[in-house]
Structure 1
Amino acid sequence: MAQFKVVITDYEYKSLQIEQDILSQLDVEFVKAQCRTEEEVINAAKDADGILNQYAPITQKVIQSLNNCKVISRYGVGVNTIDLDAATEQGIVVANCTDYCMDEVADHALALLLSAARKVTLLNSYVKQGVWEYKKAIPIYRLRGQILGMVGFGKISQNLSAKAKAFGLKLIAYDPFISQEVASKYEVEMVDLDILCQTADFISVHAPLTKATKGLIGSAQFSSMKPEAIIINTSRGPLINEQSLITALQTSQIAGAALDVLEHEPIDPGNPLLKMEQVILNPHVAWYSEESERELKGKIAQNVVDVLSGLFPVYLANPKVKDIVDLRQRL
């Protein structure tokens, strides 16, 4: 019998060999599951020492059922699938990976911005339908001098800002947790959300999804935006109130949207966004490159190995747990 049991609650990867190799540093039984509900997670992981998690719900109910769990490590930057307070109260370390895919998401946000601004996707669709006519894209505006507003100014937005400047975009951002010193380093003007919505030609959403940020962009924000504005989201779908977005697009309050994430994924076949020419939709892919996937998988598995070896992980998502558990700091 193995010393530890580690359960992966769900995954969409072709192979888990990277995780298997890293977990093999310890005497681990690695159990692979494809859970979708609380009950499925409970049945699979109730006696696990460690959990790897992608999308399955790790709710308070699930956490209270975990008899041996010492660590939950989530694939990604966000930890919105996990009840952090419940995990902390139970002395379970929650870990993530805050520094992977920064280039990929910044690049994807910029690609969506450029495609929406130059109407590349729209014109591609027309040409493939046999329509050779640039006027289908009218109006297109010069990019240089337009304003990019970033909602959230963490590592990905900072990465994006450096790239966007090369196109001559002026940069503003909203983030109540970022200092003026950091903003000055990137030559970004910090503003409140209302000013950003009123001012920006492009609004790129990069905030984490929390109880406080869910629905952060809603009808009030859309009503204050320029009619030429385009909103881009490569963060989390629920940051935008989707029905308010649909209404804003249907009534021409804004000019378009470029979305890698949606409120409900995968998208419902009846979603009106699918029929809107001014909307670009991608299947939550901004994080992906071959390199970023390998990096993510390795770091997420190493989080579990660290905790089961008596160490705090590099990527600790619930630092308050330090007051409860007896682990050593990494040297």
Structure 2
Amino acid sequence: MALLLTMWRKIGCLKSDVEKGGWRYDVCAPIERLEGKTLGIFGLGRIGTAVAKRAAAFGLRVIAADPALTFMEAKERGAELVTPAMVLSSSDIITNHMDANETNEDLFGAAAFAAMTRRPLFLNCARGWSVDEAALVEALDEGLIRGAGLDVLKDENPDLEGHPLLGRDNVILTPHAAFYSETSIEALHRISAKNLAYCLAGRPQEAFKVVNKL
């Protein structure tokens, strides 16, 4: 939501103008009202659901694509379940919250960006695995999307020198920091210790989200 609001309200543009001595509310026009726009979510799991609930508070219509859910399950999570094609073509903002798996590598490629007929804002706070970065750069260059807010890249430790996504007014790139707070770090330590205790006690089934099973 932080990326969504920062980019939709063009906070960076307004901040830059004020620092240059400006004081005009319309210097970054057009800025559209968020209420009534459509947010399309790919992946309505725990994080996608949290985004859906927060988006509703801003008056956004929320649609989602998730093959693991029924229409009623998605509704209970705050979204209308539609096809991936409908999310691409009907959304003013598209946000990715899918786990990385063999079915979604480079899902957001040239064809997907071409299908985004409403020229949406594109957000990815999940995994870079799902985004064809060359196609994303091309979509930005051709104006197929209004901007991109990215907390991840394909490479978890990218070489940023000369990176084609840097230096753009309509791109915000952050270092996989969406999860971060002092509270979340404390929780990670606590959960890791509990998981270790469960496994040593022969009760691995009680561990929380074991990624690499032994």
- The TM-score with structure 1 as length reference comes to 0.60
State whether residues 201 and 226 of structure 1, in contact with CA within 8 Å, keep that contact through their aligned partners in structure 2. no
SS at structure 1 position matched to 2:166: helix
Contact 1:147 1:170 in 2 (8 A): yes
Distance, in Å, in 1 between the alignment partners of 2:124 and 2:208 is 25
Mapped partners of 1:131, 1:248: distance in 2? 31
Q: Deviations over 1:105-155 (max 9, x none)?
A: xxxxx1111111110122212322344444442221111110000010001
Q: Which amino acid aligns with 1:314?
A: A
Alignment of 1:194 with 2:194, yes or no, is no
Amino acid at match of 1:207: M
Counterparts of 1:238-277 in structure 2 under 5 Å?
238-264=129-155, 265-266=157-158, 268-277=160-169
Q: Deviations over 1:268-324 (max 9, x none)?
A: 1211211210111211111011111111121123212211221124225479x7xxx
Structure-2 separation of matches of 1:272 and 1:188: 34
Q: Does 1:176 align with 2:67?
A: yes
Given the superposition, is the C-alpha separation of residues 132 and 239 from structure 1 closer, same or farther in structure 2, using an over 3 Å criterion? same
**Which residue of the partner structure matches residue 100 of structure 2?**
209
* Contact residue 199 and residue 207 of structure 2 kept, 8 A: no
- What residue is the counterpart of 2:20 in the other structure? 129
Alignment match, 1:306:
198
Contact 1:147/1:171, CA 8 A, preserved across alignment? yes
Give the match's secondary structure for 1:126. helix
Mark the CA change 1:318 to 1:293 in structure 2 (over 3 Å): closer, same or farther.
Answer: closer
- If you compute each CA radius of gyration, which structure gives the higher value, 1 or 2? 1
Write the distance in 1 (CA, Å) between the matches of 2:44 and 2:111.
22
Contact 1:227–1:255 (Cα < 8 Å) also in 2: no
Larger mean Cα displacement after TM superposition, 279-288 or 180-189: 180-189
Q: Which of 114, 117, 121 lines up with 1:223 in the alignment? A: 114
Pick from 169, 174, 179 the counterpart of residue 287 of structure 1: 179
The residue number in structure 2 matching 1:91 is none
Tell whether the 8 Å contact from 2:35 to 2:58 is kept in structure 1 after alignment. Answer: yes
Q: What pairs with 1:67-78 in structure 2 (closer than 5 Å)?
A: none
Distance 2:30 2:117 in 1: 15
Output the amino acid matched with 2:77: Y
Indicate the larger mover: 164-173 or 209-218: 209-218
AA aligned to 1:172 is I
Unaligned runs of 5+ in 2: none
2:58 corresponds to: 167
Aligned-residue CA RMSD in angstroms?
A: 2.0
Alignment-mate amino acid for residue 70 of structure 2: S
- Deviation above 6 Å: which 4+ runs of structure 1? none
Q: What aligned pairs does 1:91-102 form with structure 2 within 5 A after superposition? A: none
Pairing 1:113–2:4 present: yes
Match in the other structure for 1:315: 208
1:149-207 deviation per Cα after TM superposition (whole angstroms, max 9, x unaligned): 00100011111111111110000001000122321213411111111000000001100
The answer to whether the 8 A contact 2:38-2:93 is kept is yes
Tell me, yes or no, if the aligned pair for 2:89 and 2:118 is still in contact at 8 Å: no
- Structure 1: runs of 5 or more not aligned: 1-109, 326-331
SS in structure 2 of the partner of residue 274 of structure 1? coil
Higher relative contact order (CA 8 A, sep 6+): 1
Distance 1:226 1:126, change over 3 A: farther
